[in-house]
Chain A
Amino acid sequence: GAGVSQSPSNKVTEKGKDVELRCDPISGHTALYWYRQSLGQGLEFLIYFQGNSAPDKSGLPSDRFSAERTGGSVSTLTIQRTQQEDSAVYLCASSRTGFGNTIYFGEGSWLTVV
């Protein structure tokens, strides 16, 4: 079966531009997560969607970051007015409903801000 799919796999953008990163979770998974992986920062939680509940946005680093999930499936992470410190790998993950379920990760979107 298909895993978590992310696009684009690589993105180079100029400072100040907006970018959108897309995530298509595993079919049937109601929970969706975004993490950021950057040098020196490890893996940072950004945002968590669970079904129709309000998302947990507690990890978003600034108001330039936002995410939405349409129809309980595909999610888009948007970074406005990108800065060089936004350069990182953005990992999307999904899981079935319920505490303790395994979280499956996509290959990531590599973002470079120049």
Chain B
Amino acid sequence: AQSVTQLGSHVSVSEGALVLLRCNYSSSVPPYLFWYVQYPNQGLQLLLKYTSAATLVKGINGFEAEFKKSETSFHLTKPSAHMSDAAEYFCAVMGETSGSRLTFGEGTQLTVNP
């Protein structure tokens, strides 16, 4: 069965600083991997998706993530944080043993300090 671990339920950065949100997955075969963002009182919005076409995936709002099979990781980064990036971020995996449904990590709440 697939699983996802997000290290750090809360991450705090200063405006302009690097954002690094960690995600490790467990899957017997290379899966599809996703990052979603949830702003307060809203649904989930797709940031980016890994489909095996390229290991470095660029998403919306300046975010990107790198798939590293040897480390079973898919960490999310952004070079310079904006105040508007404050939100909760979810890593998710879709693997063959779970059909087409997503298995989510516990989420990481990102705070951006002025």
Contact A105:B43 (CB < 8 A) given known A33-B101, A100-B51: yes
- Against B, the Cβ 8 Å flags (1 = close, 0 = not) of A60-104 are 000000000000000000000000000000010101001111111
Q: Please tell me if the beta carbons of B90 and A31 are within 8 angstroms of each other in the complex.
A: no
- The A contact surface, by secondary structure, is strand
Q: Please tell me if the beta carbons of A102 and B101 are within 8 angstroms of each other in the complex.
A: no
Q: Please tell me if the beta carbons of A107 and B43 are within 8 angstroms of each other in the complex.
A: yes
Q: Select which of B46, B100, B101 is within 8 A of A104 by beta carbon.
A: B46
Band of interface residues on B: 20 to 34
Contact A91:B106 (CB < 8 A) given known A48-B101, A100-B32: no
B103 within 8 A of A: yes
A107 CA to B90 CA in the complex, in Å? 15
Shortest B96–chain A CB gap in Å is 7
Q: Please tell me if the beta carbons of A42 and B44 are within 8 angstroms of each other in the complex.
A: no
- Residue in A closest to B52 when the chains form the complex, CB atoms: A100
B22 within 8 A of A: no
Q: Please tell me if the beta carbons of A43 and B101 are within 8 angstroms of each other in the complex.
A: no
Q: Please tell me if the beta carbons of B51 and A43 are within 8 angstroms of each other in the complex.
A: no
Q: Please tell me if the beta carbons of A50 and B100 are within 8 angstroms of each other in the complex.
A: yes
A98 CA to B51 CA in the complex, in Å? 13
Q: Which residues of B contact A107 (CB under 8 A)?
A: 42-43
Q: Which residues of A contact B45 (CB under 8 A)?
A: 105
Q: Select which of B32, B99, B104 is within 8 A of A42 by beta carbon.
A: B104
- Against A, the Cβ 8 Å flags (1 = close, 0 = not) of B97-114 are 001111111110000000
Q: Please tell me if the beta carbons of B100 and A95 are within 8 angstroms of each other in the complex.
A: yes
Contact A48:B99 (CB < 8 A) given known A42-B104, A99-B94: yes
A56 within 8 A of B: yes
Q: List 20 A-B contacts (CB under 8 A).
A: A4-B43, A33-B101, A33-B102, A45-B101, A45-B102, A48-B100, A48-B101, A56-B101, A91-B43, A93-B44, A99-B100, A100-B100, A102-B49, A103-B100, A103-B102, A104-B46, A105-B36, A105-B43, A107-B42, A108-B42
> Which residues of A pack against B, CB within 8 Å?
4, 31, 33, 42-43, 45, 48, 50, 56, 91, 93, 95, 98-108
